Structure 1
Amino acid sequence: MSTVYDVTAWTIPGSSVTCYDDIGAVINSMIADVKAHQTSQSAKPGAVIYIPPGDYPLKTRVTVDISYLTIRGSGHGFTSLSIRYNTSNTSAWYEINPGSSHVTVQNTDGNSEAFIVTRGGDPRLSSVTFENFCLDGMAFTPNENSYTNGKIGIRFDSANDSAHIQNMGFVYLEHALIVKNADALRVTDNFIAECGNCIKLTGSGQASTISNNSIGAGYVGYSIYAESFFGLLVTGNNVFPRGKSSVTLVNCTLSSITSNRFHAFYPGVVNLSGVCTENLISGNHFYRQPETYGPFVGNNNGLDDLFGLVQLNGSNNALIANHFSFNVPSGSITPSGATPTLVLVKSGDGNYLASNHFVANVAVHTVVLDASTTNTHVMDSGTSAQFQAYSTSYGFRATP
């Protein structure tokens, strides 16, 4: 019995449906076959489901409830659909849709997700991998620029370990990836853009990595969001503008945000929210400018320029050796006439900021300390004129 399945060669028992009719029904049938042939408690090697290059409608949600399953294609196939939507005539284009191993999320069964990974009981699901194919939410009404169509690419809805999402393409989904209660998760080398929300980690988790992705959410959603995570590593990502935030951590501990490029049209680029403790933000490049693309001008995330490009809430966090580039015309700053804040320490004790470099086209406050903060140390992160403290409990050394 082979443990490698090809969606183009599979026949659903008692049905004429093929992968060109509904790839979701085909993959569900394959998973049922794996379970039927791997009944031994001590020998369940899992399987590989292969999606060759081609166009495949997914009308039935796939339920993954076995461990050691890899669903694999031969190309992430991403292409911008927003450019297509905002172009009046595409008749001369070479192509207008994603390609390679291209799955269109149609969901005519009434479910939101293309894939749901879930199982009760023990042990938790382990080593489920999605790699190298495209999940496309397709055109929708009334406003494709919102990226909100109710569709979800992949949802992990129960505790899981060692899941991999790699070399994937996600486009035009309200939520590309939602993962609940994950340990040792790896989300790497994906292209996740033009989605309402890109990566959302919920519940809790530990020892996980989000790395080397190209990411860009819509203005109402998050590019990267994580709650109650311990030891999360966010590194080497190129995050495009227009997301509500590039990274939001809520109640996270001992996590690192390092060596990323954050390009943003709004404040709130990195937000440590709730009670975040002992997290490191280092070696990142922040670039803030106003919206440049006509169809999106006038949209924003609802935050003003006093919120900060980075906002820290919690204690003993470190913001070290980052580069900030701020290039917003004075007439586009909100509230009108305000001096923009680049880093706001909103709450907490013992936060440490050092050796951050700031370049701005207007006068800015590089660091602002809220009145509730205590024992904050700010060194070489702005001049005396650029530093503003509403607290009396801090140490400050100005940039020479």
Structure 2
Amino acid sequence: MPSTIYDVTTWTIPSSPSTTAYTDIGAIVNSIIADIKTNQPSQASKPGAVIYIPPGDYSLKTRIVIDISYLQLKGSGHGFTSTSIRYNAGNTSAWHEIWPGGSRIRVENTDGNAEAILISRSGDPRLSSIELLDFCLDGVSFTPNQNSYLNGKYGIRSTTATDSLRIRGLGMVYLEHGIVITDADALHIQGNFLCENGNCIELIGSGQASMVNDNMIGAGYVGFSIFAENHFGLIVSGNNIFPRGKSSVHLKNCTNNNISTNRLHAFYPGMIQCEGACHNNLIGSNHFLRVPESFPAMTGFNNGLADLFGLIQLNGSGNTVVGNHFSFDVPSANITPSGATPTMVLVKSGSNNYVATNHTAANVAVHTVVLDGSTVNTKVLDCGTTAEFQALSGATYGFRATP
């Protein structure tokens, strides 16, 4: 069998020998994938291949399309550096470096497609065991200004079901959408640096038995840090999620998932949102820090939510919120609506939710737990004083104040 290890810097496209990885890495990778298909035609023996991207600065003009299983696309360095700081810093002529490094792919998309990497295949079985490792996808700039988080570019997008997709050790910066995965099974997103993107991680359609852990994440005020819909058995843990996403973790119609041991830092309410029919989820041992926007260029922007929305808002039944720490340090003049008492946990709907042993440290008076009048049989234990608990008319509950 021919070699299953490829290097983008040494590959030549037979029909276009002048094209190199530096002029269009997308065309090079697509040509290599075509070669893999030619060399591995047997249904019974398809070991796949490794495509290596050495450290370098590569232009991507043609979208990469991955439609084979068992492919590893691997670089040597996520190369992240803050593009936002550079664009807002003024004169940077004396800086040591001003652009991302490592195995850096500049997402230029002159072919008219939005994605740097599209994962898609029709027919059976679904794509399996694709690994994207240790390189940088750089969207270069936003429009109409560098603080808009908009440019229409996607880093990685799957549009058909996948099994055991692994995304690890990547850097992504200045993309409107970093990672968008459809119908994932056993997806693992780990150890990536996904910051200054409009949206960072979006898990759409449905999914099961997946993990998002140990990532550095920071989305724009218009987008999601981590979003998942119709997911079962998702673990979100060990992530350090920075401002300024419109939420830190957003679940929609998700059941039996675990959000734990994350450090969440936000400029807005609605840090964890459980929307729709979210049942039997565990939110535990997370650290929440809510402070006001600190960057002068962005002080006029927010996610549109008031401080009555809650740092956590629950919709659904049988959920557990336990052992979390809330640090709330917002000047009273910045609280919306004016004069309101901010809410840490709002149980907005559902029955048999359990909220216990959460600790709040705040610079102003807060409601640690608020129950909507429609909620049924909520248990609230050791989450603050009687004055810090609020149950609206109609709610049924059991309550025990912190001793």
Fold match (TM-score > 0.5): yes
Q: TM-score, normalised by structure 2?
A: 0.99
Mean CA deviation greater in 135-144 or 350-359: 135-144
**Contact 1:5 / 1:48 at 8 angstroms: preserved in 2?**
yes
Q: Displacement, 1:141?
A: 3.0
Distance, in Å, in 2 between the alignment partners of 1:100 and 1:312 is: 41
Task: Name 1:161's counterpart in structure 2.
Answer: 163
Q: Does residue 392 of the first structure (1) align with residue 392 of the second (2)?
A: no
**Contact 2:143 / 2:149 at 8 angstroms: preserved in 1?**
no
Task: Name 1:9's counterpart in structure 2.
Answer: 10
Distance, in Å, in 1 between the alignment partners of 2:160 and 2:15 is: 31
Amino acid at match of 2:402: T
- Give percent identity, aligned residues only: 65
Task: Name 1:91's counterpart in structure 2.
Answer: 93
Distance, in Å, in 1 between the alignment partners of 2:300 and 2:185 is: 39
Distance, in Å, in 2 between the alignment partners of 1:386 and 1:270 is: 20
Amino acid at match of 2:12: T
Aligned-partner SS, 2:387? coil
Task: Name 2:123's counterpart in structure 1.
Answer: 121
Task: Name 2:71's counterpart in structure 1.
Answer: 69
Distance, in Å, in 2 between the alignment partners of 1:161 and 1:327 is: 42
Distance, in Å, in 2 between the alignment partners of 1:354 and 1:341 is: 15
Distance, in Å, in 2 between the alignment partners of 1:72 and 1:17 is: 20
Aligned positions, number = 400
1:22-33 pair list within 5 angstroms:
22-33=24-35
Aligned-partner SS, 1:43? coil
Distance, in Å, in 2 between the alignment partners of 1:12 and 1:113 is: 22
Aligned-partner SS, 2:43? coil
1:269-288 pair list within 5 angstroms:
269-288=271-290
Aligned pair partner of 2:141 in 136, 139, 142:
139
Task: Name 1:105's counterpart in structure 2.
Answer: 107
Distance, in Å, in 2 between the alignment partners of 1:368 and 1:37 is: 62
Distance, in Å, in 1 between the alignment partners of 2:320 and 2:248 is: 18
**Contact 1:231 / 1:254 at 8 angstroms: preserved in 2?**
yes
**Contact 1:325 / 1:359 at 8 angstroms: preserved in 2?**
yes
Aligned pair partner of 2:237 in 235, 238, 246:
235
**Contact 2:374 / 2:395 at 8 angstroms: preserved in 1?**
no
Amino acid at match of 2:177: H
CA distances 1:154-212 after superposition (whole Å, capped 9, x unpaired): 00110000000000000000000000000000000000000000000000010000000
Q: Displacement, 1:140?
A: 3.4
Task: Name 2:83's counterpart in structure 1.
Answer: 81
Amino acid at match of 1:83: I
Aligned-partner SS, 1:215? strand
Task: Name 2:346's counterpart in structure 1.
Answer: 344
**Contact 1:219 / 1:244 at 8 angstroms: preserved in 2?**
yes
Distance, in Å, in 2 between the alignment partners of 1:42 and 1:392 is: 60
Q: TM-score, normalised by structure 1?
A: 0.99
**Contact 2:384 / 2:401 at 8 angstroms: preserved in 1?**
yes
Distance, in Å, in 2 between the alignment partners of 1:144 and 1:173 is: 11
Amino acid at match of 1:283: S
Task: Name 2:255's counterpart in structure 1.
Answer: 253
Amino acid at match of 1:394: Y
1:256-335 pair list within 5 angstroms:
256-335=258-337
CA distances 1:15-53 after superposition (whole Å, capped 9, x unpaired): 121111100000000000000010000000011000000
Aligned-partner SS, 1:42? coil
**Contact 1:78 / 1:170 at 8 angstroms: preserved in 2?**
yes
Aligned-partner SS, 2:22? helix
Distance, in Å, in 1 between the alignment partners of 2:210 and 2:338 is: 41
Distance, in Å, in 1 between the alignment partners of 2:247 and 2:141 is: 24
Task: Name 2:43's counterpart in structure 1.
Answer: 41
**Contact 2:353 / 2:379 at 8 angstroms: preserved in 1?**
yes
Q: Give ranges in structure 2 of 5+ residues lacking alignment.
A: none
Q: Does residue 359 of the first structure (1) align with residue 371 of the second (2)?
A: no
Distance, in Å, in 1 between the alignment partners of 2:131 and 2:260 is: 25
CA distances 1:344-389 after superposition (whole Å, capped 9, x unpaired): 0000000000100001000000000001100000000111000000
**Contact 2:142 / 2:148 at 8 angstroms: preserved in 1?**
no
Aligned-partner SS, 2:29? helix
Amino acid at match of 1:6: D
Distance, in Å, in 1 between the alignment partners of 2:40 and 2:57 is: 30
Distance, in Å, in 2 between the alignment partners of 1:172 and 1:117 is: 21
Amino acid at match of 1:38: Q
Q: Give ranges in structure 1 of 5+ residues lacking alignment.
A: none
Aligned-partner SS, 2:25? helix
**Contact 1:255 / 1:278 at 8 angstroms: preserved in 2?**
yes
Distance, in Å, in 2 between the alignment partners of 1:39 and 1:121 is: 16
Q: Displacement, 1:236?
A: 0.1
Q: Displacement, 1:298?
A: 1.3
Amino acid at match of 2:164: S
Amino acid at match of 2:14: P
**Contact 1:146 / 1:219 at 8 angstroms: preserved in 2?**
no
